[in-house]
Amino acid sequence: MTGLKVENVSRDYKQKTALYPCSFDVAEGKCLVLCGGNGAGKSTLLQIIAGILYPSSGTASINGKVLKYNRENYLREIGFMPDDFHAQEMMTVEEFLSFYGSLRKVKKDRINEVMEIIALKDKKRELVKNLSKGMRQRLLFGQSILAKPTVLLLDEPTNGLDPYWVNRFVEILNQLKEQGTIIVFSTHMMDVAAETGDMILFMEQGKVIQTIKNEAEVSETTMKLLKLHRQANV
């Protein structure tokens, strides 16, 4: 089985089920979007796929590498952007990316390339603590793509981004899809989901309540309306 395969993963706590069993496949160059309110189980699902949380049942695999049995090789395929920024604030932008790059044996040229992608090259000597919320989000995104992962996992990546950068983010994701990257991310922004997702899972209280395949062509007029809606609500 090629691509990302999630099989009956769930997560139980003593007095609560955070995620009920769910399964899905995401092929190379495709994007799965997780939508739903706070507490829907989106972050729990992403953290299980990322290997941060152990599932109560089920497992995930990437191109046949099963998380449960081949954890080290599985995790080499993952790039992960959390929803909270807990970085060392006294690092510079360049030091931050260099640190994470060293963990994946990423070369200096790639670090410079990523700084260009996230438009922080001119801020490379700026301390993380001095960055705006949007810049921090871009930096977090940058570290997640450093090693050109097979599977890119993003938890609410558009939080704090202005309309220009939401549009730019959509462009970058679609470029990554064209390069074959498998993407799974959560968002509250339905327009971003429509523009990037090949499949959208709607979640509520730990359950997938609806799955939508985004197969229809989206008209140019509809896309313009979606972007206008985005700008009006930021």
Q: Are 35 and 202 in contact (CB under 8 A)?
A: yes
pLDDT along the chain (234 residues), means of 10: 92 93 97 92 97 96 95 96 83 96 95 97 96 94 97 95 93 97 93 89 92 69 58 52
Token look-up 């229809």 returns 216
Residue with tokens 């994946």: 104
pLDDT recorded at residue 84: 79
pLDDT for the residue 174 = 95
Check residue 104 and give its pLDDT: 92
Buried b or exposed e, range 217-228, using 16+ CB within 10 angstroms: eeeeeeeeebbe
Q: Do 11 and 18 touch, CB atoms closer than 8 A?
A: yes
Rounded CA-CA distance 156/164 in Å is: 17
Identify the pLDDT of residue 222: 56
Provide Rg for the chain, Cα atoms: 17
pLDDT of 194 reads 86
Please tell me the pTM assigned to this model.
Answer: 0.91
Q: How far apart are CA 125 and CA 105, in angstroms?
A: 21
Domains (ranges, CATH) in the chain?
4-77+149-232 (3.40.50.300), 85-148 (no CATH)
Which pairs from 61-64 meet CB under 8 Å and 24+ separation? 61/1, 61/4, 61/5, 61/7, 62/3, 62/4, 62/5, 62/150, 62/151, 62/182, 63/1, 63/2, 63/3, 63/150, 64/1, 64/2
* pLDDT computed for residue 88 by the predictor: 79
8 A C-beta contact, residue 84 and residue 120: no
